[in-house]
Structure 1
């Protein structure tokens, strides 16, 4: 098979429906457990054949990354090239539609999309296990973004159980235009050190939306409290979402500040977006 001249990959937002922090490990990472889904809102990465590795960024949030001399996309490209023993040649175009530092894995999704795109562009003979190892070296959230399907994550992100199916529902994503540092959120949480790593819980199963909502009500996001201390507007966003018609659950994703609402239909999610839209807030019904 010949290498492609150009390929495109979608990098969907990663939403932590739940996020439990089990403790801080001796290696400095946190032991986590999280139910993750991917929204039909995200960035888009295009890779063109080229002699050298380069990156151009566009999109609503592209300017926020324009000043970076390096980022996860370029690091992913160089890492895969090194693994393959080849020159890192590709012209990458990133359409940045997701807010930066917003708790929905935009950078991780972009890095995963880069690995997928360059594997196709270069017609690379690299296994899924190799890609997963490369992804983990780039960041804890990158491996789950390689295959954008619902998953139950454990550990620092390396233990991933894909879920066969979830009940149909729609999401409303809302970011108030505030960046929240993940490191600061974990520092505020001050999770205790775990001497022995706990065994991964069994991946949950849900036959109905009611069952999913019930499980989520019992399994929250441990980072929401610390994030609200840093950025109190998060509480305002959650309250606004929760007050919309049809909202089944309102919560923060990841380390914030993006929050989400769960609805039975996309029409309800779009109606909620119209109801709470305000200047400076980013909203996406998906």
Structure 2
């Protein structure tokens, strides 16, 4: 399998499949421990916003190739072997797909999300590749086997494979479905500043957190906001020390009159504000974009 870029995309056919790679949002993120192998354990309410990357999957004679386009494509073009191609290889090996018969594919990734920004872009892209190629190749792996494969690719890939709200714990392998969440809108903001996940984890101070009870969020908007407020992102302070721009973004979101809660997602630098209505979110996003033309700003509905 090889990766290549192309300025002209292949014509899509009726056999071309399409997958969304939604932005993953850590509404909460408590770091609860560290395993002997170095992996951190966590407890996090993970949801998805209806904004993200797009992946098309088309049949090919033999090899799997990857083309990258979109506003944030430059951040991936230097990678000779990114997570999407690793996902394709892993699925082909797990399902014993014969590349000479049906194991080829042309993957086209439209990169709309900032790279390495705390909203699961690479993991969501890999999950989209697993879903799309499983359909293209007619792979009948059981869901638990596919999630185990996803976990080997990265801790966030299993939750992105599901793409629905869950409480995630362990290193990402334990996923607990949550009750229906109320309709919510996000305003996602990234200051276009790179933040190192490893450095943020290394810079975290204090003891490990205890997963706060109750583990599942309550019904109702007001109760949910109170529940979220009591369960912060344990990596936010470390990210703010590493990248002061995160502090500026959070302050801008908190200063919006209709913002119900402002917080950083994952290890940063993307932050989010929660809004009750589409009108409030669109107005806030427009105001932020006008004030900070160098920021990436995106309003999006919670994906239930």
Q: After TM superposition, is the score higher than 0.5?
A: yes
- TM bracket (short chain): over 0.9
Matches of 1:217 and 1:199, distance apart in 2: 14
Question: Structure 2-normalised TM-score?
Answer: 0.89
Q: Is the 8 A contact 1:213 1:248 kept in 2?
A: yes
Unaligned runs of 5+ in 2: 1-13
For residues 233 and 54 of structure 1, what CA distance do their matches in structure 2 show?
A: 37
- Determine the C-alpha separation between the residues in 2 that align with 1:26 and 1:193: 15
Q: Quick one: distance in 1 between partners of 2:213 and 2:128?
A: 28
- Distance in 2 between the 1:135 and 1:62 partners? 23
> Which of 48, 72, 79 matches 2:90?
79
The question of whether the paired residues in 2 share the 8 Å contact of 1:61 and 1:98 is answered with yes
Does 2:129 correspond to 1:114? yes
- Shift of residue 200 of structure 1? 9.6
Match of 1:62 in 2: 73
Q: What is aligned with 1:45?
A: 55
* d(CA) in 1 for partners of 2:249, 2:67: 32
Asked if 2 retains the 8 angstrom alpha-carbon contact of 1:24 and 1:192, the reply is no
**In the alignment, which of 91, 104, 124 is matched to residue 89 of structure 1?**
104
SS at match of 2:180: coil
Structure 1 unmatched ranges of 5 or more: none
Q: 1-side partners of 2:284 and 2:142: how far apart?
A: 43
1:171 matched to 2:186: yes
Q: How far does the alpha carbon of each residue in 1:199-253 deviate from its partner, in whole angstroms, 9 at most, with x for none? A: 8965313221111110111100000000001001101000001111210111100
Structure 1 residues 7, 178: closer, same or farther in 2, change over 3 A?
same
Residue 279 of structure 2: aligned partner: 267
- Equivalents in 2 of 1:114, 1:200: separation in Å? 34
| Cα contact 1:35–1:151 (8 A) shared by 2 | yes
Out of 27, 52, 67, the position equivalent to 1:17 is: 27
Give the Cα separation in 1 of the matches to 2:40 and 2:117. Answer: 19
- Cα RMSD for the two superposed structures: 1.7
